[in-house]
Structure 1
Amino acid sequence: MSGTSGTTEVRGGTSVGVATAARWVRRWEDQQQHYAVDRDERLTVIADVVEHTTAGLAEPLVVDLGCGPGALAARLAARLPHAAIVAVDADPLLLGLGRAYYGPAVRFVEAVIGRPGWLGALALDRPLDAAVSTTALHYLGEAALRRVYRDLADRLRPGGVLVNGDHLRQDAGRLCEIARAVGRRRAERRRVRSHEDWDSWWAAAHADPALAGLLAERRTRPLPASEGEHLTLSAHLTLLREAGFRHAGPVWQFGNSHVVVAVR
């Protein structure tokens, strides 16, 4: 799935070529495998949940939180071609790459998730049927995460779902240690550490003249820092229930990697 024109425009007039976007999106996906063991399976499970919970709806409305260049959003668009997919991120470089590579199948929106009024930037015209995220919500501190969960509970229809795939620690230190060991051994067998890491990807991106415009846009944005990695699985579940979700729990797990589903 890719754009049909040679370039795509992002806010501020910056454009990037489709071939350039394709190269950097593919490299991003390779880099993400350095950190997320069984990333493809995790994305597949999230898509399975959304397909199951929106079955029979004429045009489900789905939002992808912290979408990056849009791998999960694009997978959902391919699985559910009748759905409206909105992909949200604060990073104009990643959004620009996603817009160019995936084209109009996904509507990309720039917004800082968790900031007061962030949902207004999405211009949603009806209640959400599903909200998804993968390896993104751990960036939010507890206060922001509480606000995001409440905002989503307010905007999801009854029976709608929030599906979050992320690294979530167990409460018990010993269990957390064992889960990390299980994940580490899996990573060794899959040789995921041979993939490029985060710092290397960004260093190479900053050195590519084709991305200069998007990087200039990026330097003008107050990008969020990671604040919530200390929150455990049970802390997330508590916040979800306090926000108004009727049910919340993991439906898939490997080591500390989980897919958590919360039902409105």
Structure 2
Amino acid sequence: MGISMAVAKAWVERWERQQQRYAVDREERFTVITDVVEHVTAGRPRPLLLDLGCGPGSLAARLAERLPDAEIVAADMDPLLLELGRTHHANAARYVDTVIGADGWTDALGLRRPLDAAVSTTALHYLPEPVLLDTYRRLAALLCPGGVLVNGDHFPPAERSCSGVTAHVGRRRAERTGGHAHEDWQAWWTAAARDPELADLVAERAQRRAARAGGAGGADLSADRHAELLRRAGFRHVAPVWQFGDSAVLVALKGD
């Protein structure tokens, strides 16, 4: 199921453009996440970072560029996106095939020491609330004292009457930056299925999704609700550090 470097490069670049439709100021959000990790891990030799729901390695690659001494483990359940990351961003991370929130998912990571930081972007919102709480608890256990969890995602406002306003702000920002003009999620996957080098991995992805069908869907939780769950999970300090529309970066620090 190998993918050539040229094909991987083309599809990862196409993925980057597609994702601009969904993550407001995506590049700035990546930068903010990396700023937090750089600050928290300053002075630590070879910090260990975990990228949750890594996709094709977009965030891992940016972290590796800024923090070349870091060891990065990147986890996802999508066979195609993982293979794109392993091929195009091979030196950025060690890629792990695991389903976040499933039984034994943290064992699959193969961690041999505590994490200094865990990061995620546009990945954890699909988890049902009980699974999300358990995931946060497991991450708190994996992190070293003073470690950090940084989550960049879509967080609807706690005041639902304001959701139309925040969504509008995000859409207008996407229009000004040109993100809305790129192909959407479904168009990217439809095109990928037609590429002979990707077809087998797309088929494997479909089989996995079918096997997992019927489970509870993710919760549409506000940043305040996430903060409450994080505190219940053992994180002492939780705060948003950046927001534009519904797109925000939430930081949770484990106590020393």
TM range (shorter): over 0.9
Corresponding residue to 2:42 among 55, 61, 79: 55
Query: Residue type matched to 1:179 in 2?
Result: T
Tell me, yes or no, if structure 1 residue 67 matches structure 2 residue 57: no
CA contact (8 A) 1:15 1:213 kept: no
CA distance in 2, matches of 1:253, 1:41: 10
1:214 alignment counterpart: 201
1:8 alignment counterpart: none
Tell me, yes or no, if structure 1 residue 153 matches structure 2 residue 140: yes
Describe the superposition over 1:72-127 as per-residue Cα deviations: whole angstroms up to 9, x where unpaired.
Answer: 00111111111000100000100000100011331000000001221000000000
1:118 alignment counterpart: 105
Unaligned runs of 5+ residues in structure 2 are none
After TM superposition, the structure 1 = structure 2 runs for residues 1-264 of structure 1, keeping only pairs within 5 Å, are 14-222=1-209, 227-264=217-254
- SS of the aligned residue for 2:145 comes to strand
- SS of the aligned residue for 2:45 comes to coil
Offset at residue 200 of structure 1 (A): 0.2
| Aligned residues: CA RMSD | 1.4
CA contact (8 A) 2:40 2:147 kept: yes
TM-score of the superposed pair, with normalisation by structure 1: 0.92
- Alignment size in residue pairs: 251
Offset at residue 241 of structure 1 (A): 0.2
CA distance in 1, matches of 2:216, 2:7: 28
Query: Residue type matched to 1:86 in 2?
Result: V
CA contact (8 A) 1:15 1:214 kept: no
CA distance in 2, matches of 1:250, 1:176: 18
CA distance in 1, matches of 2:139, 2:68: 23
CA contact (8 A) 1:132 1:162 kept: yes
The alignment-based identity, stated in percent, is 59
Offset at residue 37 of structure 1 (A): 1.6
Query: Residue type matched to 2:224 in 1?
Result: S
Unaligned runs of 5+ residues in structure 1 are 1-13
